[in-house]
Amino acid sequence: MWSRFDGDLNVVTDGYVYTEGVNTLTLPVSVEEPGDYRVLAQVYDGLPDAQGLHFTVDDAIEYTFTPTRSSEGAYVWVEVGGVSLEEHSVIHVAGLGGPAAVSKIALIPDAAISEMEDSICTQLQEFEAPLAYVFDTHSWRFDSEALIVEAQASNGRLIDLSRSAAETGFYVFRDDVYTVELGLQALDEDARIRVLIDDQVEWVASVGGVQDSFIKLNMGSVELLRGYHDLRVEAMDGEVRLDVAVVGTGADEGAAASDHGLPTGLSYRMCSGAEYVVEGVNSSLVFLEGGGEYWRFYGSGTEVAPLRVWGYGSLFPLDGAGGQGTLRYLGRTYLEQGALIALTAIVCLAVGLRGLGAQRFRLGGVDG
Domain stops at, among 87, 110, 133: 110
Range of the domain at 27: 3-110
Q: How many domains does the chain have?
A: 2
Query: Do both 233 and 332 map to the same domain?
Result: yes
Domain stops at, among 110, 141, 172: 110
Question: What's the CATH code of the domain at 8?
Answer: 2.60.120.260
**How does pLDDT run along the chain (368 residues), one tens digit per residue?**
899 888 664 455 578 899 999 999 999 999 888 999 999 999 998 888 899 999 999 988 899 998 877 776 778 888 898 999 988 999 999 999 999 999 889 898 988 877 877 777 777 666 666 777 888 887 888 887 888 888 777 777 899 999 999 998 888 878 889 999 998 888 887 888 999 999 889 999 888 765 567 888 899 999 998 888 999 999 998 889 999 898 988 654 433 333 434 444 567 777 766 778 887 666 666 665 555 566 788 887 788 887 755 444 667 777 655 567 887 876 544 444 433 333 233 444 444 443 333 344 444 433 33
Query: Do both 164 and 297 map to the same domain?
Result: yes
Query: Do both 85 and 146 map to the same domain?
Result: no
Query: Do both 318 and 181 map to the same domain?
Result: yes
Query: Do both 12 and 125 map to the same domain?
Result: no
Query: Do both 245 and 298 map to the same domain?
Result: yes
Query: Do both 105 and 123 map to the same domain?
Result: no
Query: Do both 147 and 243 map to the same domain?
Result: yes
Query: Do both 132 and 102 map to the same domain?
Result: no
Query: Do both 262 and 180 map to the same domain?
Result: yes
Entry pTM = 0.56
**What's the 3-state SS for the chain?**
CCEEECCECCCECCCEEEEECCCEEEEEEECCCCEEEEEEEEEEECCCCCCCEEEEECCCEEEEECCCCCCCCEEEEEEEEEEEECCEEEEEEEECCCEEEEEEEEEEEHHHHHHHHHHHHHHHHCCCCCCEEEECCCCCECCHHHEEECCCCCCCEEEECCCCCEEEEEEECCCEEEEEEEEEEECCCCCEEEEEECCCEEEEEECCCCCCCEEEEEEEEEEECCEEEEEEEEEEECCEEEEEEEEECCCCCCCCCCHHHCCCCCEEEEEECCEEEEEEECCEEEECCCCCCCEEEEECCEEECCEEECCCEEEEECCCCCEEEEEEECHHHHHHCCCCCCCCCHHHHHHCCCCHHHCCEEEECCCC
